[in-house]
Amino acid sequence: MRTLVARLDSDGDVLLAGPAVRAAAAAGEVTLLVGPAGRQAAELLPGVDDVLVWACPWVANPAPAVDAADVDRLVGAVRERRPDVALVLTSFHQSPLPLALLLRLAGVPRIVARSIDYPGSLLDVRLTDDPDIPEADRALAVARAAGFDLPPGDGGGLAVRPQPSTTPGPYLVVHPGASVPARTWSPDRWAEAVSVLTGRGHRVLVTGGPGERALTARVAGTTGVDLGGRTTLAELAGLLAGADALVVGNTGPAHLAAAVGTPVVSLFAPVVPAARWAPHGPHVLLGDQHAPCRDTRARDCPVPGHPCLDGVDPRRVADAVDELIGVRA
């Protein structure tokens, strides 16, 4: 059995597709179709035999132009792999149908997805419900609808291939950045938290991507260790595996920490539902989940002062860290 699993978003979304991928892998070979922002996570997932990368015009942000030659390349690449079935995994606000059309053109004989829209001949198995459950479980339900299931002993948690950690402990990791500004604390709050945590005797490592070096330097200050731009996603996985806890907004490293069993203190803005997107493992959720920005999917906070998160006292974050140390998945 050859299965194509599609998840065209970012690294965090791809990590949440992990249980569905493992279910498909129990029955044969898996090609994982991802966007450029999900490539690193795709390479970490157990059960993936082949990674196909495509910048999808209706998912990527900023969106690339629709280009006929680019679409033809995707269709050709899928046709070469001759999948027996495709699982199109989407968030609740996305439609699987544009991709399903391209997969039909590529000759995929069986396509399974969740869709509230009439699919015509684009889907063979259509899940019409939209349960308010964790995103990883929601994706796994699509795999099960296709006839796949997790192998014996697999509890359905997030997982990545083991990554070595070369950093001696004990330490905490603080990851202040996020691709969506509304989903994380303001820089001054992060810097205050690092000061409080180091003041309580914790060693704090501050991580971030190559474009976040100014942020991580500001947040680390004089007491934290600035690792901004110095880790790949695989290296970050190893670093998180050795950490006592991660403090983070609603962004990919929260799911990476869950995949390696590290507890998470999550500064979680309610612009998307916590029931779906909270860390899939031991965590403490902080932030006003009933704030006016709730369920807006806003990229930038629509309320002056970002009160849902900036109202959280950094000392409460430190207390949450102390609650979680020693609690591992």
CATH assignment of the domain containing 255? 3.40.50.2000
Residue 329 lies in a domain: no
Q: In this model, does residue 219 exceed pLDDT 70?
A: yes
- 110 and 27 within one domain: yes
Last residue of a domain, one of 145, 160, 181: 145
Residue 295 lies in a domain: yes
Residue 153 lies in a domain: no
* Start-to-end CA span in the chain (Å): 32
Tell me the per-residue pLDDT of 312-321, one tens digit each, with 9 for 90 and over. 999 999 999 9
Q: What's the pLDDT score for residue 130?
A: 87
Last residue of a domain, one of 89, 110, 145: 145
* Token pair recorded at residue 116: 């509230």
Number of domains in the chain: 2
Q: What is the mean pLDDT of residues 73-98?
A: 96
Write out the residue range of the structural domain in which residue 187 sits.
172-324
Residue 183 lies in a domain: yes
Residue 154 lies in a domain: no
- 102 and 66 within one domain: yes
Q: What is the mean pLDDT of residues 126-150?
A: 95
Q: What is the mean pLDDT of residues 191-204?
A: 97
- Which of 229, 216, 258 lies closest to 241 in space, CA to CA? 258
Distance CA 311, CA 303 (A): 12
Residue 160 lies in a domain: no
CA distances from 147 to 3, 21, 79, 252 (A): 12, 13, 22, 29
Q: What percent of the chain has pLDDT over 70?
A: 99
Looking at the whole model, is its pTM more than 0.85? Answer: yes
Last residue of a domain, one of 126, 145, 164: 145
- 39 and 141 within one domain: yes
What residues pair up with 206 in beta bridges, in sequence order? 174, 226
Q: What is the mean pLDDT of residues 50-67?
A: 95
Q: What's the pLDDT score for residue 172?
A: 97
Q: In this model, does residue 329 exceed pLDDT 60?
A: no
Tell me the per-residue pLDDT of 300-313, one tens digit each, with 9 for 90 and over. 888 888 888 989 99
Q: Residue 7: phi, psi to the nearest 5?
A: -145, 105
Q: What's the pLDDT score for residue 281?
A: 87
Q: What's the pLDDT score for residue 299?
A: 85
- The two most distant CA atoms of the chain are separated, in Å, by 61
Q: What is the mean pLDDT of residues 94-117?
A: 97
Tell me the per-residue pLDDT of 225-237, one tens digit each, with 9 for 90 and over. 999 999 999 999 9
- 220 and 86 within one domain: no
Kindly report the number of other CB atoms within 10 A of residue 291's CB atom.
19
- 225 and 269 within one domain: yes
- 78 and 18 within one domain: yes
Q: What's the pLDDT score for residue 70?
A: 97
- 177 and 138 within one domain: no
Q: What is the mean pLDDT of residues 58-72?
A: 94
Q: In this model, does residue 328 exceed pLDDT 60?
A: no
- 68 and 139 within one domain: yes
Mean pLDDT of the chain: 94
Residue 155 lies in a domain: no
- 130 and 212 within one domain: no
